[in-house]
């Protein structure tokens, strides 16, 4: 008599400090959507967004459930962080995961400290969507971050980075040896790309439309964006600037633009960024530090190229001279934009190359497949 056996699925607990609109939320959505359901059972736990952030689940209809930990969030608070820690420990005992995969720095600390209170076999994975080694803290605080990450890495089975340079930075800081790291390129589900087919060469806008898309915070250097706009003001007349995003420096940015007599359209948070990127010709990233910016991939998928500072793992998603440009300073940004403004055919060729590159290399399905390989390599049946 034949007997049916149910194969036990690998349980993956995924934890993120907050499910705010941005690259990590997009990637986690792809993982929750595309990871093989016959092999894996997933649970996603997220914390609370800050007041200046938008919860991704409020602007995107999700096909999976989210469990909230109301004490888990961006800010450091001893009491709240302890409650968040105890909440994660409870979930460990209730869900009995085979793998705990943390995303973002705060979740990485909470999940790995919680491991000390869980007395079952458990595989820990942490993804660095960026890092806090440059541009966030003073030297003393940065050294404390490095020390903490080193300690946590000692009992973390695998460390994932979304780009090669992020890995190099972390290895150079002594977080862990190179063999413990694995680079998994980002992947997202593209929308509004004509059924993922490469579009015909798109018509450029007149005036040329240039955007700054993201959080308006110090690390993103909105002052550099204003300096570029100012440098172009006297050279290129037929051009428009847009800022899409919110943040602690937004009002300062508006005031500075007014003082410099720069005409910039401030759009606030934009829910449908795919539509926005269709309306822009190019975007500028002026950050002092990045992980692997998903905005470059999203823009490229819509045929919108990027000019960016050469930081983090930008080089993994932007092919210099082919799908965009890596720029060193305000003068180079302005010079590149002026050239693209004059040479329309060059800009259109780069837009088409950028779209082809993004749709071929950074899909949500490929992201899930790479994680499946990682998880299966960690589980010994």
- 10 Cβ partners below 8 Å, 6+ apart? 39, 40, 41, 98, 99, 375, 376, 379
Asked if the model's pLDDT at residue 220 lies above 50, the reply is yes
Is 196 part of any domain?
A: no
Q: What CATH number does residue 61 fall under?
A: 3.40.50.2000
pLDDT at 236: 83
pLDDT at 195: 39
Q: Picking from 131-135, 219-223, 243-247, 266-270, which range would have the lowest pLDDT averaged per residue? A: 131-135
Q: What is the pTM of this model?
A: 0.83
Ranked by mean pLDDT, which of 5-14, 232-241, 287-296, 325-334 comes out on top? Answer: 325-334
Of all residues in the chain, the percent with pLDDT exceeding 90 is 66
Say if CB 277 and CB 81 are below 8 A apart: no
Place of tokens 């995003």: 245
Q: Is the peptide bond before 122 cis (omega within 30 degrees of 0)?
A: no
Q: Are residues 247 and 185 in the same domain?
A: no
pLDDT at 135: 57
- What's the domain count of the chain? 2
Q: Are residues 54 and 27 in the same domain?
A: yes
Running DSSP on this structure, what letter comes out for residue 239? E
Per-residue pLDDT tens for 33-68?
999 999 999 999 998 887 767 777 777 788 899 999
Asked if the model's pLDDT at residue 287 lies above 70, the reply is yes
Asked if the model's pLDDT at residue 373 lies above 80, the reply is yes
Asked if the model's pLDDT at residue 197 lies above 50, the reply is no
Q: Which two tokens stand for residue 222?
A: 């909105």
Q: Are residues 18 and 165 in the same domain?
A: yes
Q: Are residues 216 and 153 in the same domain?
A: no
What is the Cα–Cα distance from 335 to 232, expressed in whole angstroms? 9
- State the chain's mean pLDDT as an integer: 89
Q: Are residues 296 and 153 in the same domain?
A: no
Q: Are residues 336 and 367 in the same domain?
A: no
Per-residue pLDDT tens for 64-98?
999 999 999 878 889 999 999 999 999 999 999 99
pLDDT at 49: 80
Q: Are residues 119 and 216 in the same domain?
A: no
CB atoms within 10 A of CB 235: 12
Per-residue pLDDT tens for 293-336?
889 999 999 999 999 999 888 998 999 999 999 999 999 999 99
Q: Are residues 40 and 140 in the same domain?
A: yes
Averaged pLDDT for residues 109-119: 95
Is 2 part of any domain?
A: no
Averaged pLDDT for residues 174-199: 78
Q: Is the peptide bond before 307 cis (omega within 30 degrees of 0)?
A: no
- 297 Cβ partners below 8 Å, 6+ apart? 186, 188, 317, 358, 362
Say if CB 296 and CB 285 are below 8 A apart: yes
Say if CB 296 and CB 318 are below 8 A apart: yes
Is 342 part of any domain?
A: yes
- 157 Cβ partners below 8 Å, 6+ apart? 123, 124, 125, 378
Q: Which two tokens stand for residue 377?
A: 């390599």
Residue 172: which domain range? Answer: 10-189+363-378
Is 18 part of any domain?
A: yes
Is 55 part of any domain?
A: yes
């Amino acid at each position: 008599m034949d007997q049916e056996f149910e194969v036990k699925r690998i349980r993956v607990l995924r934890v993120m400090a907050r499910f705010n609109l941005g690259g990590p939320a997009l990637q986690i959505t792809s993982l929750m959507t595309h990871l093989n359901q016959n092999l894996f059972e997933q649970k996603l736990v997220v914390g609370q967004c800050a007041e200046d952030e938008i919860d991704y689940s409020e602007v995107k209809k999700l096909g999976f459930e989210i469990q909230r930990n109301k004490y888990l969030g961006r800010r450091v608070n001893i009491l709240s962080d302890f409650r968040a820690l105890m909440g994660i420990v409870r979930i460990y005992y209730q869900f009995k995961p085979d793998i705990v995969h943390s995303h973002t720095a705060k979740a990485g600390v909470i999940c790995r400290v919680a491991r000390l209170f869980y007395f079952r076999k458990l595989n820990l994975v942490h993804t660095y969507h960026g890092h806090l080694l440059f541009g966030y803290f003073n030297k003393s605080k940065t050294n404390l971050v490095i020390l903490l990450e080193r300690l946590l890495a000692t009992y973390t089975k695998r460390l994932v980075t979304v780009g090669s340079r992020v890995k190099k930075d972390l290895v150079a800081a002594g977080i862990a040896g190179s063999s413990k790291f694995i680079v998994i390129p980002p992947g997202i589900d593209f929308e509004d790309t004509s059924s993922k087919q490469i579009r015909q060469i798109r018509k450029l806008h007149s005036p040329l439309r240039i955007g700054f898309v993201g959080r308006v915070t110090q690390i993103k250097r909105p002052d550099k964006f204003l300096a570029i706009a100012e440098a172009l003001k006297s050279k290129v007349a037929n051009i428009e600037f847009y800022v899409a995003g919110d943040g602690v420096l937004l009002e300062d940015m508006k005031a500075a633009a007014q003082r410099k007599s720069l005409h910039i359209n401030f759009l606030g948070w934009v829910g449908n960024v795919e539509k926005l990127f269709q309306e822009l010709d190019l975007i500028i990233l002026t950050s002092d530090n990045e992980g692997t910016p998903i905005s470059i991939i999203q823009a490229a998928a819509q045929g919108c190229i990027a000019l960016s500072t050469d930081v983090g793992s930008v080089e993994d998603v932007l092919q210099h001279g082919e799908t965009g440009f890596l720029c060193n300073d305000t003068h180079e940004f302005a010079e590149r934009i002026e050239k693209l403004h004059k040479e329309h055919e060059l800009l259109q060729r780069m837009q088409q190359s950028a779209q082809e590159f993004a749709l071929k290399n950074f899909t949500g399905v490929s992201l899930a497949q790479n994680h499946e390989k990682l998880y299966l390599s960690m589980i010994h049946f």
